[in-house]
Homo-oligomer: A and B are copies of this chain.
Amino acid sequence: MQKRSQVTITIDILEATSKPQNKMRIMYQANLNYVRFHRYLADFLSKGFIEAIKDADGKGFYRITQQGKALLEVLRKANELGYSI
């Protein structure tokens, strides 16, 4: 299997949060190990690409923000153009 680029990993995480999801589902969907996933998650939360929300029962979820959606669109274009770092 070819190593995924950081751009592709970012796309995978952002796509996994298009609906509110819990941490584990995002982690599995983005196919990352625990440590790497949490590093990305903390980074994306701090930059405002993803937001933490709670449902009526107080359960925590994560969801892509408007800024994250804009970034997702831009990174898909970069990917199409062959950019992979």
Q: Which residues of A contact B (CB under 8 A)?
A: 6-7, 10, 47-49, 67, 70-71, 74-75, 77-78, 81-83, 85
Contact = CB atoms under 8 A, between A and B. Distances in A.
Counting chain B CB atoms within 10 Å of each CB, the highest count among A6, A7, A48, A82 belongs to A82
Contacts of A7: 85
B70 A81 contact: yes
12 contacts: A6-B85, A47-B82, A49-B81, A67-B81, A67-B82, A70-B77, A71-B78, A71-B82, A74-B77, A74-B78, A74-B83, A78-B78
A85 B49 CA distance: 14
Nearest to A73: B77
